Amino acid sequence: MNTGRTIFSQVMDFLPMSPFRKCVARYRGDHKVRRFSCLDQFLCMAFAQLTYRRSLRDIESCLRARRSKLYHMGIRGGASRSTLADANDHRDWRIYADFAQVLIATARGLYADEDFGVELHSTVYALDSTTIDLCLAIFPWARYQRTKGAIKLHTLLNLRGSIPEFIHISDGKLHDVNVLDILIAEPGAFYVMDRGYVDFRRLFAMHQASAFFVTRAKRRFQFTRRYSRAVDKTTGLRCDQTIILTGADTATTYQAPMRRIVYFDAEIDKRFVFLTNNFVLGAGTIALLYKARWRVELFFKWIKQHLRILAFYGTSENAVKTQIWIAVAVYVLIAIVKKRLHLDQSLYTILQVLSVTIFEKTPILQAFCDWDYKDENTTFCNQLPLFDL
């Protein structure tokens, strides 16, 4: 007799089901569906992410091998590869995009006080993108170059907890700076970007929205110095200036003073020129904020290594976006589980443990306990000798 609940179902208990049903109803995901619901689809794809399945056939084989436990995992419909492939191709990917935003909002509250290396009470975001190469013959809709296909993941990462709060999936041809037209700036928040996002018309719109930006200056941009502040050059700072743009186009597109900070990193022997519209924080803090931007690079590296977003289970645009958004939802769900269960392990360790205990029927906390095995040499006084000498 089956007793207890699988670890997979215990993890899925952290899903807010009422918002999920609203997302499904919003796009009529379960309209005329008899057996394999949107929840079944999500659970099968989440299982694939947590156990590193490589293909639909791989998912089907593993789930059918544990058919007696599917009901206890919450999967009510049949988990055949044809059914899952059809669901990925035709059910609106926005169901899972909206649901991922629900999980992101929950995670943001849990990680609101998380330390990211800079003493600052404001919200700090890192904006960047990563490219995922695709075979043009298999994904003809993702044309990037004449013989190549690719998609881009434009991500706005909250540095407190490394939670992706905004993701836009585009073809590989969309330039990074165009994402600023889609992004709604949050007043009082800091947006840290590399110089690929330097467009002074868009940065001025962010300035007018009462948001702050920190970015690197492009070479040979024209400006005039209005004021200089004293800096401690032993810390690597070289100058802290208030400037006005004087370029033929920039003088009219950004009509406000800007702050220019020059920092020299002796460890890598490199000079950095930062631009920001914040005149309150210290120059050293601005440099630290830009240094923290590398967390988004680590985030891209992490999800490519530990989530299934490089090899896709379907070839249509809808299937690709569905898989990416469910992968993001699973990542954020594990971050929520980590916080709510007060786990000390990293997300990588948690995923590794879940991948080998997913079908176990044991309390989830027990799976993450550290057991110290000790070889105790106990001697009994009434033990008879083995050999009589």
Please, what is the average pLDDT of the chain?
88
Helices (H), strands (E): how many in the chain?
14, 9
pLDDT at 221: 87
Res 387 pLDDT > 90? no
pLDDT at 34: 82
pLDDT at 386: 40
Res 2 pLDDT > 50? no
Q: Give the pLDDT confidence of 358-379 residue by residue, as tens digits.
A: 888 888 888 887 544 344 444 4
| Domain extent listing, the chain | 7-95+313-367, 195-280
pLDDT at 214: 97
Q: What is the pTM of this model?
A: 0.87
Res 229 pLDDT > 70? yes
Least confident of 64-73, 193-202, 249-258, 303-312: 64-73
Strands in 223-229's sheet, in edge-to-edge order, are: 163-171, 149-158, 124-134, 190-193, 212-216, 270-276, 258-265, 237-245, 223-229
Q: Give the pLDDT confidence of 321-351 residue by residue, as tens digits.
A: 999 999 999 999 999 999 999 998 888 899 9
Closest CA to 161 of 307, 8, 365, 346: 346
DSSP β-ladder status, 190-193 and 149-158: unpaired
Percent of residues, the chain, with pLDDT higher than 70 = 94
Q: Give the pLDDT confidence of 238-279 residue by residue, as tens digits.
A: 999 999 999 888 989 999 999 999 999 988 899 999 999 999
Measure the CA angle with vertex 77, ends 76 and 78; round to 5°.
Answer: 130
Res 384 pLDDT > 50? no
C-alpha neighbours within 13 Å on the C-beta side of residue 358: 22
